[in-house]
Amino acid sequence: MRALITGGAGFIGTNLALKLAEIGNQEILTTDNLSRRGSEFNLETLQSKDISFKKSELEDVPGLIPYFKPDVVYHFAAQVAVTDSVTSPKRDFDINAKGTIDIVLAAREILAPVIYTSTNKVFGDNVNELPLEEFKTRWDFQGELKGKGINEDFSIDSSHHTPYGISKLVGEMYVREYGGIANRCSCMYGPHQNGIVDQGWLSHIAKKIIAGEKITIYGDGKQIRDVLHSDDAIDLFIKQGKAIISQGKEEFQGQAYNVGGGYENTISLLELCSMWGKEKKELNFENWRPADQKVFYCDISKAQEHFDWKPQVGYKQGIDQLYQWTKENQHI
């Protein structure tokens, strides 16, 4: 299999490339513009495994596709910060929406399917209209969604997505329109991640605690997410790549999947900080950010059914691993 990975020196791109190289019988080309802090260290890791890399801006990637002729394109390159999308919505659109359709159309010319990382932000403010219950350390859904989560049929019709949610939804729709797969990801974490304040929050908090710095929480800290270890995310993406190539496109063509750890891997910000020895009184609290969701976790049954996939890394084990990896890589 020939795989092209955009955002290949990013968190998920690096982990996918390393796993494909480990499996063998793969020809891999990774591309990245190396603008994200920490990507240069991920590039060193890729090069140590002799994984091909080309430094490219996103607009240059469509030109690489007819020359490399991948069997599948894993499109992970993106503008990923909600806050940046609010301050620079046109740049956000150019990267996430226009950049995606350009890649989709180039891949279509050689009949290569695109596997795309979308986001739970495509559901917009509809999520915040759901009835919730408040507990000591977390919020949760009330009623039939409690313990089950949001599935792919939940409405995306909302006027409050943030520009990031809009641009990712547009990209997703183009991917699906031309027969690819869109994964609406919840919170992924793991090695080779360099989290920042508005993206990769588990990694970001780990770095703050290890450095002895003050932690700022936006909102009340009770918001929960279903967290998914990168090993499990990569397992799913590889299964999707094999399936859409070897089993024919029709069964998976244009599908969207909600991808997260599921209810059993939910955790709140307060619970995470407590696990790492920081109690509520030690935290700094500020106002909620635009379109922040108090509760989001996925119903992952569709991905389980289609790909015989289920998360294997429990959140406690995975979070401990993340903390240790972050501690060992403080130079990043």
Question: Residue 192 — φ and ψ, nearest 5°?
Answer: 70, 20
Least Cα distance to 68 among 45, 52, 87 occurs for 52
- Residue among 116, 164, 189, 257 flagged as catalytic: 164
- How big, in percent rounded to 5, are the helix, strand and coil portions of the chain? 45, 20, 35
Least Cα distance to 321 among 197, 259, 229 occurs for 229
Cβ burial, residue 312 (10 Å; 0-12/13-18/19+): exposed
Dihedral sign of CA atoms 265, 266, 271, 273 in order: positive
In this structure, the strands spanning 139-141 and 132-134 are antiparallel
Tokens of 323: 């903390």
CA 304 from centroid of its chain's CA atoms:
18
Q: Are 257 and 307 in contact (CB under 8 A)?
A: no
Q: Which helix (H) or strand (E) holds 320?
A: helix 315-328
- Is 74 assigned a catalytic role? no
**Catalytic positions, written as ranges:** 164
